[in-house]
A and B are shown apart, each in its own frame.
Chain A
Amino acid sequence: MRTNIHIQAEDFDVSDEIEALVADDPAAGAVANFVGLVRGGDGLGALTLEHYPGMTEREIAKIVAEAAARWQLCGVTVIHRVGRLEVGGRIVLVAVAAAHRGSAFEACAFVMDYLKTRAPFWKREERDGKAQWVESRTSDDAAAERWRKT
């Protein structure tokens, strides 16, 4: 299975990434992707993302490996940006290629839900000229919890 994990300051091109993920892979019949953006409209000016180099890549690799153990996948790309991002900017891309859409959709949601609760990133908001760390949300824990095997 193809795995691409990148932590970077630079922006990414979604269609280029999807094309690269399925290039020369005739088994890939579906790609599902999620793009997270900096949400504005409520006084937010920009976000700054900090991470734990080394652990971030390891955690994301673990999440991708767990997805590959649950679903038959052809490839997974995870790109997460760090540094200062303005409203409307792309933060994260998760793209999953599989033979069929069911696995692609589910694995994409799974990777994103676990990334939100396990990958060591922290957001700081700039709002009205003041910087403040974003608090974690219990709804994110609940989203990851729903994938727990009973």
Chain B
Amino acid sequence: MNVLYFAWVRQKVGRGEEVVEHLPALRTVGDLAAYLRARGGGYAEAFADMSRLRAAVNQVHAGPDMTLAAGDEVAFFPPVTGG
């Protein structure tokens, strides 16, 4: 899976994107978030409070229960502030 980060999430994890293998344990967006948080450091900071985060799967807004598949593009970002 290609995982993208935007705004302060990108700054905290220290990169804009990375490839994460679609392990069987990573069934949902929430599973992936918990997996990334467990890496510690900037990831732990970025994923500390999931209520402050939003996600998208294949460029469509997605909740934590959205299931993942190999090859998905998954993005994590703060609530949007455009306009």
Give A contacts to B, CB under 8 Å: 36, 49-52, 54-55, 58-59, 80, 91-92, 112, 115-124, 133-137, 140
Contact = CB atoms under 8 A, between A and B. Distances in A.
A92 B7 contact: no
B82 A133 contact: no
Given A52-B59, A120-B6, A112 B83 contact: yes
B80 interface: yes
Contact of A123 (B4, B56, B81): B81
Given A92-B83, A122-B81, 15 more contacts: A52-B59, A55-B59, A55-B75, A59-B61, A92-B82, A112-B83, A118-B61, A120-B82, A122-B6, A122-B7, A123-B81, A133-B8, A133-B81, A136-B78, A140-B83
A135 B80 CA distance: 8
Given A50-B6, A55-B75, A133-B8, A119 B80 contact: yes
A48 B62 CA distance: 26
The 5 A-B residue pairs with the shortest CB-CB distance, nearest first, are A121-B82, A136-B79, A122-B7, A55-B59, A116-B83
Contacts of B7: 50, 122, 124, 133
B77 interface: yes
Q: Is the interface of A mostly helix, strand, loop or mixed?
A: mixed
Contacts of A49: 82
Contact of A121 (B8, B56, B80): B80
A148 B81 CA distance: 20
Given A52-B59, A133-B8, A123 B78 contact: no
B53 to A, nearest CB: 11
A54 B82 contact: no
Nearest to A55: B59
Nearest to A132: B8
